[in-house]
């Protein structure tokens, strides 16, 4: 099973599905990025996993739907209704309309996600980390409004993380419960994988839900570094790491997870000499240039997990 | 000022605006057809008036937006989410998203309608008959489920009124209050016009809101017959009239309104010998073949209103 954020997580999972076609894969999805826009509930990470594994993703962009149009968004702008900085396409809108209608009818997000996956058939079981509302907020020094907390998406998408984050917090996490099935899936897992997702606002947020970190720590855990050569493979993980005082390096991220949580760590072949006490480090090519490359990385992560499980026996 | 239903009402109003360019026109819109679809609040009659007068209407169809696409609807169908029988286009969806978001934020429908009209600038003041929920229900003998009440739109759009209506009722009307401005607008009006809208489910529903009928009855009221030669000009008003025991004829509709309410009545030139005690009847061409024809009809209604007002002085 795996914890997953957005694009990097989804591409890794597609590789994992290819590398282990007979495995029952459960994915715990990050919901800290979720946001209500135009009265609709948007779950970017869950949808990226669902669309990517379900064959509906915009491949070039990495998020959103293929063959997308933006008529609804243009019309909303014509009404003067924003925000305009979040790119919701017409096909994507339908997902959020269905989700919002089901949530309003009383279904928990986990049931809604299952219903949406009935269409997409991602080949994995996708469960949100929690049915409770957790929203990642970022504290910034706004040039105009002073220090204030904004929604993660506003910082990430509107500001492109250009304003330094003073702190990043999953608001609501303390009182959140893991969604039904989350803890059982972790406990039943042969191995827990951390895809090359953002260690702070994706994996970190999932681990912030009480009970999940402890359950994961009890399993064999192998992670794939999202940092290659001191920079994030994609996205702006460096800005997030800086905010929590962690260096942007494969070694520092592994140390941040720590040996209590992480048993094995895959780093890129260019990251030589990475050593983290208590964590087995292996280096290999980590660029997910295509589905096959992602499968090779996932296979290597599984190999390392088997090796570590065997060692532990 | 005018009471208005959907397509016929909207086209008449466009003519009225042309016939009386300097007049301040207030339109009381029917909301009995409103329906919640996919968790969104849809107000077909208000939107038809708004789009028609605002230049956004699909002219051939008479409802919905011009240059419309149906991506969201197709996606909802792919999720297995219905109903599919109600034709919501992408542009139209944006209107319902904005409306639903504003309603959820606590704005009354009248304020929402005003905000939507900020964009469309229909050149009239459009007020829903009420901010309270009134839903027109139709009792039918369902071949499968027996006698039951269904939403007007299900009868009208899904069944195309093919199943006889046992009765038609504006559910909630008894407890509804006229929206802010409605009674004042009627009281301040030089004349109240009934466009050739459905006498039962459009004009009749508006009049069912307590206070509106009495306020209208106190003014000079001129109506335009929606029936020509024993058949509705468009739509299925005959099925509605039959349900309430009124013959489908220009004379019977005027008699149904009654001389307490109606002062003048325009019938088509082919409807000769229409006489209704207590109501001044004039005949002229009533087909709204284009905007100019609609303006001529509206002009004739205003002329008759002036004549009757003068007589009354």
Q: What is the rounded CA–CA span in Å between residue A311 and residue B217?
A: 91
The pLDDT tens digits of the residues spanning B77-115 come to 999 998 989 989 999 999 999 999 999 999 999 999 999
Does A78 lie at the interface with B, CB-CB under 8 angstroms? yes
A147 assigned to some structural domain: no
Q: What is the pLDDT of residues B114-153, one digit of tens each?
A: 999 999 999 999 999 999 999 999 999 988 889 999 999 9
Determine the Cα–Cα distance for residues B144 and B203; give it in Å rounded to an integer: 32
Considering the domain boundaries, does residue A236 fall inside one? Answer: no
- Chain A closest CA to B102's CA: distance in Å? 9
Which ipTM was obtained for this model? 0.92
Pairing, β B146-151 against β B135-142 = antiparallel
Residue B147: strand, helix, or coil: strand
C-beta atoms of A75 and B69 within 8 A: no
Angstrom CA distances, A29 to A109, A169, A202, A257, B83, stand at 11, 17, 8, 18, 30
> Is residue A177 one of the residues assigned to a domain?
no
Interaxial angle between packed helices A90-104 and B71-78, expressed in degrees from 0 to 180 and rounded to the nearest 10: 50
Residue B55 forms contact with A (CB below 8 Å): no
For residue B190, is pLDDT > 70? yes
d(CA B51, CA B121): 9
Using alpha carbons, select from A245, A268, A266 the residue that is nearest to residue A254.
A266
Q: Per the structure block, which two tokens stand in for B253?
A: 């509709």
> Residue A62 belongs to what domain range?
34-128
Q: Does some domain include residue B207?
A: no
8 Å CB contact of B39 and A100: yes
Residue A110 lies in a domain: yes
- Mutation for A interface: B50, B93, B100, most A CBs within 10 A: B93
How far is Cα B35 from Cα B42, in angstroms, rounded to an integer? 5
User: B103 CA to chain A: closest CA distance, Å?
Assistant: 10
Q: Is the CB of residue B270 less than 8 Å away from at least one CB of chain A? A: no
Task: Give the tens place of pLDDT for each residue, B19-33.
Answer: 999 999 999 999 999
Q: Is residue B206 a part of any domain in this protein?
A: no
Confirm whether A119 is domain-assigned: yes
Give yes or no for residue A37 having a pLDDT over 80. yes
Residue B1 has pLDDT above 80, yes or no: yes
User: What is the CB neighbour count within 10 angstroms for residue B84?
Assistant: 12
Query: Helix %, strand %, coil % for chain B, to 5?
Result: 40, 20, 40
At residue A5 the predicted structure's pLDDT band, cuts being 50, 70 and 90, is confident
pLDDT digits (tens, 9 = 90+) for B57-78: 999 999 999 999 999 999 999 9
Contact at 8 Å (CB) between B64 and B130? no
The stretches of A105-236 forming alpha helices (DSSP H) are: 109-120, 152-153, 182-188, 203-207, 212-217
Query: From the CB of residue A32, how many other CB atoms can be counted at a distance below 10 Å?
Result: 30
Q: What number is the average pLDDT over the span A115-136?
A: 98
Instruction: Pull the structure tokens for residue A225.
Output: 């570094």
pLDDT exceeds cutoff 70 at A312: no
Residue B40 confidence class, pLDDT cut points 50, 70, 90: very high
CB contact under 8 A, B90 and A79: no
For chain A, say whether B83 makes contact (Cβ under 8 Å). no
Where residue B65 sits, what CATH number does that domain have?
A: 1.10.8.240
pLDDT computed for residue B118 by the predictor: 98
- The whole-number average pLDDT for the span A242-257 is 96
Are A65 and B79 in contact by the 8 Å Cβ rule? The answer is no
Say if B36 is an interface residue toward chain A (CB within 8 Å): no
Domain assignment present for residue B16? The answer is no
The total number of structural domains that make up chain A:
1
Cβ–Cβ gap B104/A39 under 8 Å: yes
The label of the residue with tokens 């897992």 reads A189
pLDDT confidence bin for A265, thresholds 50/70/90: very high
* pLDDT range class, residue A195, cuts 50, 70, 90: very high
Torsion sign across C-alpha atoms A59, A60, A63, A67: negative
- Residue B25 pLDDT: 97
How far apart (Å, rounded) are the C-alpha atoms in residues A109 and A115?
10
Put simply, whether A91 touches B (Cβ < 8 Å) is: yes
pLDDT tens digit string along B224-253?
Answer: 999 999 889 888 899 999 999 999 999 999
């Amino acid at each position: 099973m795996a914890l997953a954020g957005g694009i990097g997580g989804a591409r890794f999972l597609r590789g994992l599905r290819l590398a282990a076609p007979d495995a029952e894969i459960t994915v715990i999805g990050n919901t800290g990025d979720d946001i209500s826009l135009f009265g609709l509930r948007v779950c970017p990470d869950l949808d990226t996993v669902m669309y990517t594994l379900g064959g509906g993703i915009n491949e070039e962009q990495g998020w959103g739907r293929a063959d997308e149009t933006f008529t609804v968004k243009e019309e909303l702008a014509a009404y003067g209704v924003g925000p305009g900085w979040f790119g919701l396409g017409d096909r994507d809108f339908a997902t959020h309309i269905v989700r919002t209608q089901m949530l309003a009818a009383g279904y928990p997000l986990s049931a809604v996600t299952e219903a949406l996956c009935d269409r997409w058939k991602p080949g994995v079981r996708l469960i949100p980390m929690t049915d409770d509302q957790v929203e990642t907020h970022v504290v910034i020094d706004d040039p105009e409004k002073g220090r204030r907390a904004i929604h993660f998406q506003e910082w990430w998408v509107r500001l492109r993380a250009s304003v330094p984050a003073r702190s990043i917090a999953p608001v609501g996490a303390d009182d959140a419960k893991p969604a039904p099935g989350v803890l059982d899936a972790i406990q039943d897992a042969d191995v827990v994988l951390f895809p090359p997702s953002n260690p702070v606002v994706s994996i970190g947020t999932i681990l912030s839900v009480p009970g999940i970190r402890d359950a994961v720590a009890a399993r064999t855990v192998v992670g794939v570094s999202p940092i290659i050569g001191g920079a994030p493979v994609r996205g702006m993980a460096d800005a997030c790491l800086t905010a929590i005082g962690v260096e942007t390096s494969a070694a520092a991220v592994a140390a941040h997870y720590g040996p209590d949580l992480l048993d094995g760590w895959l780093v890129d072949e260019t990251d030589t000499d990475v050593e983290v006490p208590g964590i087995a480090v292996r280096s290999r090519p980590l660029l997910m240039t295509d589905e096959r490359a992602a499968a090779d990385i996932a296979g290597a992560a599984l190999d390392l997990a088997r090796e570590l499980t065997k060692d532990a026996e």
